[in-house]
Structure 1
């Protein structure tokens, strides 16, 4: 028997529009430091590199360069606040539920591979009633490595019960494209996520602008890359 075909998703900026709550947590930290807030519209593309980098960039706007101890303190404050407000305004991207239904109906097994902490990822997906959709939800702390290290994708797929030879990655930013390339799997980029570089410039195998396009993109890649039927 062949292993299930697997689609692995990034989380922030791919499955869920988490920007409002992430920027709210950033502004909470900045306010405690006596610094002005960062507008949501100008900070969305700073999110893809993770919470630590988001804080560093928020401070850079005001000319602050935190040392390791200060950054660790600010990160703890950020995570504490964010965990309590993780789904205040975060919502699945339009069309996600139908897209996941379509893939499940075609027999695909679904998983999440994110650089968010695993417990925060599960809390967010629990709050949005999405956790049951995924055979595995793995974060940067699950295996001790983060994207674009291919080990995190390999182990996520294994935990989901799949194999890399039957896997497609879906993401919105450089780490997602990078982890797919290093692991040797096809990758779909979404154009509605968080990236400083336009997703098309990162040269994923397919680009979609709405979740309604996901099923056709996955199926075209399965055929193109000769994934098992």
Structure 2
């Protein structure tokens, strides 16, 4: 019932009724309800906002093995919201969520190992967890792991795999990946030099707010025909996204 009121599925959307339904299920030990109620309490939707109580609800669900609750509890600890700031506890809960396949937790845990937040710096583990998140399809992780593969940071260098990941993330609309893919095509790295493809991905990245002066110069040097072809490729890509 909670989800029905939360999403307005066949009934008017009503956060208060959603919270009430989740509370009843949470009292019976339903960990998904505990987590969902925790989100409502954390955001103050339908109930009074209280991060401490949200943390309590996440804890109940997390201790019962709910991965989403484990991840959100980790965020409370790392940010000191509703819980004392404690990066070690944050890393502990992030690890539990990541081990269950939560892609965002895997990505964040990789960052913990990369920068030594709550755990010792370990480039190999950073790459391992970032790679898992990339394999799960998280575009930010695909970009980060791609960079690791290019540089050989914590993992054996593999430029071809890195380029594949940049393409996967770029196709998802990640502008950082689009920019990196454009650079590869412009400079003939991994791929054969293809200025039309470089321009296509640069235009998409630039439209999304990622500027690159060197690629702007490349764009200005294109022939009229190349520029038209690149713009058509952008339009075709954008149209494909709209129909997905």
Calculate the TM-score normalised by the size of structure 2: 0.26
Higher strand share goes to which structure?
1
Report 1 or 2 for greater relative contact order, CA contacts < 8 Å, sequence distance ≥ 6. Answer: 1
Of the two, which has the highest radius of gyration?
2
Higher helix share: 2
